[in-house]
Amino acid sequence: LPEHVGVIMDGNGRWAKAQGKPRIFGHKSGMDALKKVAVHGARRGLKVMTVYAFSTENWARPVDEVKFIMSLPIDFYGKYMPTLKAENIQIRMIGEREGMPKATLASIDRAAEETAENTGMILNFAMNYGGRRDIILAIQELAKSGQDLSLLTEEELSKHLQTAVLPENLRDPDLII
């Protein structure tokens, strides 16, 4: 069994279109599907599930669609917090906070706090996350602290990536779907 599984949320729009529904209907259904997948993963004994829900590139989508996607975490935790707690799931987030709506961040922070004592699977939301952006921000931080970047090791870099919110041996996905 892989320990850390990444799930790229894709095809919501196409799926909705095939049903003759608007794209946001697909996102809403994607949110409900995510809950099912997370519960299944937790019960099967995965250690971490990272869901790539919104990338830094996704800001280029129509404003209304972005707004809707940013409202989904509020909906998700409002609806599913009792389930997440019952399934012993811990919520975390990676991604850049800057630029994200305050209410969205507040709902994710609250969910992380309320599940901090849980010991089961970590459900890690990648929101406003970009892999290259993560590396750039880490290097900028290291440069500012006066480190000699020509001596930078993978271990040192890894400590400064946003994925450092995950346990050290579980930061990189074993499988990405």
Q: Active-site positions?
A: 10, 58
Site string for ligand FPP, 39-58 (x = CB under 6 A): --------------xx---x
Q: Per rule CB under 6 A, is residue 122 in the interface with ligand FPP?
A: no
Using CB under 6 A, which of 6, 7, 12, 95 touches ligand FPP?
Answer: 12
Closest CA relative to residue 77, chosen from 102, 105, 41, 46: 105
Q: Which residue has its beta carbon closest to ligand FPP?
A: 13
Q: How far apart are CA 6 and CA 176, in angstroms?
A: 4
Q: Per rule CB under 6 A, is residue 115 in the interface with ligand FPP?
A: no
Q: Between residue 14 and residue 33, which ones bind ligand FPP under the rule CB under 6 A?
A: 14, 27, 30-31
Q: Per rule CB under 6 A, is residue 11 in the interface with ligand FPP?
A: yes
The CB-side HSE value for 113 (13 A sphere, CA atoms) comes to 6
Q: How far apart are CA 100 and CA 113, in angstroms?
A: 19
Burial letters 146-156, b for 16+ CB under 10 A, else e: eeeeeeeeeee
At 175, list the tokens: 């499988």
Span near ligand FPP by CB under 6 A; candidates 12-20, 134-142, 150-158, 166-174: 12-20
Q: How far apart are CA 16 and CA 153, in angstroms?
A: 45
Span near ligand FPP by CB under 6 A; candidates 8-16, 113-121, 130-138, 145-153: 8-16
Binding site for ligand FPP (CB under 6 A): 9-14, 27, 30-31, 34, 53-54, 58, 69, 72-73, 76, 125
